[in-house]
Structure 1
Amino acid sequence: MNLIEFLLKASWIAVLVASITGFISGIGSASLLALIDRAISQMNLDRFQSQSQLIWGFIGLAGITMVTNLTSQFLLVDLAQGAIYKLRLRISGWILAFRREAPRSIRFG
């Protein structure tokens, strides 16, 4: 079974939300780098109406990036752990079904 297909069957909503928050986090990181680059290259704060605008822009972008990154990572870890749990249940079911159907000569324990 394809891994992506298995994860989508496990919880397509979690995959969708993790993808969207990861995308937003990437945009936030790129915007943060662009803001830092613009502030360093200009070294003239006249373009920004004030230093507080630059500081609050940085804090806002850093906050959004951090929250979306953590949300995306949490959802992906939770999805992976759920998938591992379901795979363990499936494999355990196969093992138990095999033990019930196996002849006495090859029974375990």
Structure 2
Amino acid sequence: MATEMQEVAITEDKPLLTGQEHNIETPHGVLHVTVQGARSSRRPAILTCHDVGLDSKSCFSTLFQFEEMQEIVKSFTLIHIDIPGQEEGATVFPVSYQYPSMETVAEMIPPVLQFFK
């Protein structure tokens, strides 16, 4: 007995991470960064960096959309860093590209913080 497959339309209750997007130049290349919430010197920041193989949207959208997290989201500025080539719509690196080590990626973070200072 063959079962016929049907298409199902799925709509999001809440959109994935939205915010201001920036491409920030660092000594080791450009980082894509998304900022959520009002930037204020009085508001502390939460800095995130996604897991391997993901981007900030796929890694953190669900977490920060939980009802229980809304108090935190209202009280902090969220700064989501995408590791090179992992951002949505990233271009493919050439074969000769030398991907940065974790130490190099760590050295790319201070310029991001300085940018938002």
Range class of TM-score, shorter chain:
under 0.3
| Structure number having the greater strand percentage | 2
| Structure number having the greater helix percentage | 1
Q: Which has the higher contact order (CA 8 A, sep 6+)?
A: 1
TM-score normalised per structure 2: 0.21
TM-score normalised per structure 1: 0.22
Larger radius of gyration: 1
